[in-house]
Amino acid sequence: MENMDNLELLEEAKKARLKAYTPYSNFKVGAALLTKSGKVYLGCNIENATYTPTNCAERTAFFKAVSEGEREFEKIAIVGAKDGEDANVMCSPCGVCRQVMMEFCDPKEFQIILANGENTCRVMTLEELLPCGFSSFNLK
Ligand SMILES: O=c1ccn([C@H]2C[C@H](O)[C@@H](CO)O2)c(=O)[nH]1
Ligand SMILES: [Zn+2]
């Protein structure tokens, strides 16, 4: 699936969203992460009764991929909404997830695909979502 387009990736994110474990917020998120080699890793949010250990969909997808040896990423599609509401509403990644993306992605190249109400999407670079981000380059 090397040339997977943004709408196809969004469809994968919607499938991932069906697996979300959200008994506390009822806000379900799905993410589909495309590697440079063309593989797709899906993630959903996973909540916890003590709240803090909750993992976002985006980080689930990244951690699954990284734990399988992946290090190079092209783009991620994200869909999120309350149960029973339109999942094509724009759900942008939280600050913690943006920082995790910063660890593995070129901020000028990595694309974040957000769905909107018409099921078309807005595409932003990581740099646009996390300007002046801190990364391993700062520690060199
Ligand atoms: O981009 C986002 C924003 C929120 N959440 C999750 C965390 C929590 O389970 C719920 C409400 O914040 O949505 C994500 O997975 N990704
Ligand atoms: Zn997050």
Residue 125 within a domain: yes
Residue 76 within a domain: yes
Tell me the pLDDT of the chain (140 aa) as tens digits. Answer: 445 899 999 999 999 999 999 999 999 999 999 999 999 999 999 999 999 999 999 999 999 999 999 999 999 999 999 988 887 779 999 999 999 999 999 999 999 999 987 777 899 999 999 999 999 999 99
- Amino acid letter, residue 21: Y
Residue 67 within a domain: yes
Task: Look at the chain and report how many structural domains it folds into.
Answer: 1
Closest ligand 1 atom to Cα of 93: 1
Terminus-to-terminus CA distance in the chain, angstroms? 35
Mutate to test the pocket of ligand 1, among 25, 56, 99 (most ligand atoms within 8 A of CB): 56
Residue 93 within a domain: yes
Return d(Cα 40, Cα 120) in angstroms, integer: 20
Q: What is the domain-level CATH number for residue 29?
A: 3.40.140.10
Residue 39 within a domain: yes
Cβ partners under 8 Å of residue 39, min gap 6: 1, 65, 70
ipTM: 0.99
Residue 1 within a domain: no
* Of 127, 25, 24, 9, residue with least CA distance to 61: 9
Domain ranges, residue 12: 6-139
Residue 74 within a domain: yes
